[in-house]
Amino acid sequence: MQDLTPRVFVTQPIPEGALARLRALGQVEINPDPLHMVTKPELSAALQRNEFLVCLLHDRVDAEVIEGSPRLKAIASMAITPAGVDVAAATARRIPVTTIPPLVTEATADLHWALLLAVARRVVEADQGLRAGLFPGSQSVYYVGGEVHGKTLGIVGLGRVGEAVLRRARGFGMRILYTKRQRLEPEREAALGAEFRPLDALLAESDFVSVHVALVPETVHLIGARELGLMRPSAYLVNTARGPIVDEQALVAALERKQIAGAALDVFEHEPRVAPGLVALPNVVLTPHIGSAARDTRERIAGIVADNVAAVIDGRRPPNLYNLEIYA
C-alpha cells in the first residue's frame, strides 16, 4: 500500500514550535546543523525523498533542482522575497512558492542601530582589547570614536526599515536626511522630521549613511567609489539591506585610505563569502546577516511558514503565496 504521509524537508533548524506543527502534519527531515548550508547535491537528494521544502533566505533552489525533483509540491521560503528560488521554474510546474510578510522591520532596525553605535564608539575594538588585557584608562584617547547624539543621519531608501531607523534616531536628537525615488509629501516630511536630499547631497552632509534600499538592478553598486568619495572623512556607512548595493572593493579601498571613518555591515556582496579586505580592517563591524535573528521575530516567521505548508497539504491556497498565477 502506498504511503501518503506528507514529507517535509527543512534546510536548517527553525523554532521548535513550528517544527512540532510540521511534525503533526507529516514526516519531517531536517538538516540539524545551523552552521551548515545545504549544498545543491544535498538539496536535490533530499527532494527525492520529500515533497515539501522549507528553505531559508540563503538557500538556492534553482531551476535544475526544481526540474529534477518530481515529488516537489511546494516551496515555503522564510524570506519576504524569494530571491534564491527560481520562481519561474516552480510556476512552470505549478508548484506554489510561499513567503512571509514584512515581519523583520523592527528587528532589523534594532540591529542597524547596534551596528551604528558599535562602529562609532569602537565597541568591538574595545571589547577585543580588554579581553587581551588592554585597559588604557578611563579618559585615555586610545579608543576615542565618533559622536552619535546630535549628528546627521542620512537614510538611503526610506521604506519600512528606513522609517524604523528614523524613529530610533529621534531619541538620539539627530538631524535626519533622506533620499528615495519619490519625495514624500511636505506633510509627511514634517511628521517624520526628515529633510529630502538628492543622494549626492545626502552623502556629503551626513555623519552616518544608512542603506535601506531594495536590491534591484538599478541599485547594484549604488554606493561605489564615486559615492564614497563624497562622504566626509569622519562619516560612517551602515548597511543592513543587501550586500550588492555597496561595491565592497571600493569600500575596502575607501577605508584603507581613511576616506571615511568606518563601516558596519550585516550583508555582503557575495554571501557567505566576505571580502578579505573587510575582515582585516579594525574600523569595520561585521555580522553574518542576522537582521531578523531575534527570538520572537523568528518564532513568528516560522509559524507563518508552517501555516503555508499546512495550507498546501490541506489542498488550500496558502495565505502568503508569491506566484499567484498558479491559482488563477
Question: Catalytic: 289?
Answer: yes
pLDDT of residue 59: 97
Helix (H) or strand (E) holding 256: helix 248-256
Sign of the dihedral through C-alpha 152, 157, 159, 164: negative
Q: With contact defined as beta carbons under 8 Å apart, do 221 and 245 qualify?
A: yes
pLDDT of residue 1: 55
Q: Which of 7, 212, 289, 298 is catalytic?
A: 289
Which residues are 105's β-sheet partners?
Answer: none
Which residues are 55's β-sheet partners?
Answer: 77
Q: Identical fold at 7-102+295-327 and 105-286? A: yes
- Look at 327 and 262; give whichever has higher pLDDT: 262
* SS3 readout for 167-227: HHHHCCCCEEEEECCCCCCHHHHHHHCEEECCHHHHHHHCCEEEECCCCCHHHCCCECHHH
**Phi/psi of residue 97, nearest 5 degrees:** -115, 120
Q: Quick one: fold of 105-286?
A: Rossmann fold (3.40.50)
Q: Give me the residue spans of the domains in the chain.
A: 7-102+295-327, 105-286
Work out the number of other CB atoms within 10 angstroms of the CB of residue 98.
24
| Position 318 pLDDT exceeds 70 | yes
- The tens digit of pLDDT for each residue in 174-220 reads 999 999 999 999 999 999 999 999 999 999 999 999 999 999 999 99
Residue 286 per-residue DSSP state = E
**Phi/psi of residue 71, nearest 5 degrees:** -85, -15
Scan for cell 541599485, then name that residue. Answer: 219
- The tens digit of pLDDT for each residue in 103-116 reads 999 999 999 999 99
Residue 26 per-residue DSSP state = S
Question: Catalytic: 271?
Answer: yes
Three cell numbers, residue 255? 577605508
**pLDDT confidence tier of residue 44, bands split at 50, 70 and 90:** very high
CATH number of 7-102+295-327: 3.40.50.720
> Mean per-residue pLDDT for 312-320?
96
Angle (deg, nearest 10), helices 16-25 and 295-313: 10
- The tens digit of pLDDT for each residue in 239-281 reads 999 999 999 999 999 999 999 999 999 999 999 999 999 999 9
**Phi/psi of residue 117, nearest 5 degrees:** -65, -40
Helix (H) or strand (E) holding 106: helix 105-120
Q: Which of 112, 122, 197, 242 is catalytic?
A: 242
| Position 43 pLDDT exceeds 80 | yes
pLDDT of residue 328: 80
Q: Which of 67, 163, 271, 299 is catalytic?
A: 271
Q: Are strands 52-55 and 27-30 parallel, antiparallel or unpaired?
A: unpaired
Three cell numbers, residue 144? 576615542
User: 316: Cβ–Cβ under 8 A, 6 or more apart, which residues?
Assistant: none
Angstrom distance (rounded) from CA 298 to CA 18? 10
Q: Where are the alpha helices (DSSP H) in 267-325?
A: 276-279, 295-313
Scan for cell 515529488, then name that residue. Answer: 71
| Position 4 pLDDT exceeds 90 | no
| Position 3 pLDDT exceeds 80 | no
Helix (H) or strand (E) holding 239: strand 236-239
Three cell numbers, residue 85? 528560488
pLDDT of residue 107: 97
Angstrom distance (rounded) from CA 160 to CA 107? 12
Per the prediction, the chain carries an average pLDDT of: 96
| Position 142 pLDDT exceeds 60 | yes
Q: With contact defined as beta carbons under 8 Å apart, do 326 and 318 qualify?
A: no
| Position 299 pLDDT exceeds 90 | yes
